[in-house]
Amino acid sequence: MSQELIILQKVMDMMEYGYLALAQYPKSEKFAMVTDIKRSMDIMLERVIEAHKKYYKKTTLQELDVEIAKLKAYMRLSHTLKFLPTHKYEVWSGMIVEIGKMLGGWLKTVNGQKPASS
């Protein structure tokens, strides 16, 4: 399975977990932070699919990197505001970090550098 398809599956898994975690946010945040987080995850999914299909991938992958940073910030804020319990924060953040590492390898490949072996 190619790197692109593995990262796509990881994003889908992260979204599935994220949507379940977002269901427990307070009602006051349903149309505020929850909407922003869902949109951020949707954009991540879109960028992975776009990068997989495009010939020139670098800009799209950089946009994905920015979206990962945004989602990490939302997760940190959610945990700080006690919307997200510590265990769910750790699991969800771990998934995002793993996607970020995979993206780093993909970017190195696109930039012509040999990715570090795991």
How high is the pLDDT of residue 89? 97
Q: What is the pLDDT of residue 43?
A: 97
Domain count, the chain: 1
> Which segments of the chain have a pLDDT < 50?
none
User: What pLDDT score was predicted for residue 33?
Assistant: 95
Residue 108 near residue 114 (C-beta atoms within 8 A):
yes
Please give the pLDDT value at position 113: 72
Model confidence pLDDT, tens digit, residues 11-33: 999 999 999 999 999 999 988 99
For residues 115 and 108, is the Cβ–Cβ distance under 8 A?
A: yes
The reply to whether 117 falls in a domain is: no
Residue 27 is given by DSSP the state: G
At residue 114, the 3 state secondary structure works out as: coil
Q: Which domain holds residue 100?
A: 3-22+30-110
Residue with tokens 């599935």: 16
Domain membership flag for residue 68: yes
Q: Is residue 66 domain-resident? A: yes
| CATH number assigned to the domain comprising residue 68 | 1.20.1440.60
Evaluate whether residue 9 is within a structural domain: yes
58, part of any domain: yes
The answer to whether position 118 is within a domain reads: no
The confidence score (pLDDT) of residue 15 equals 97
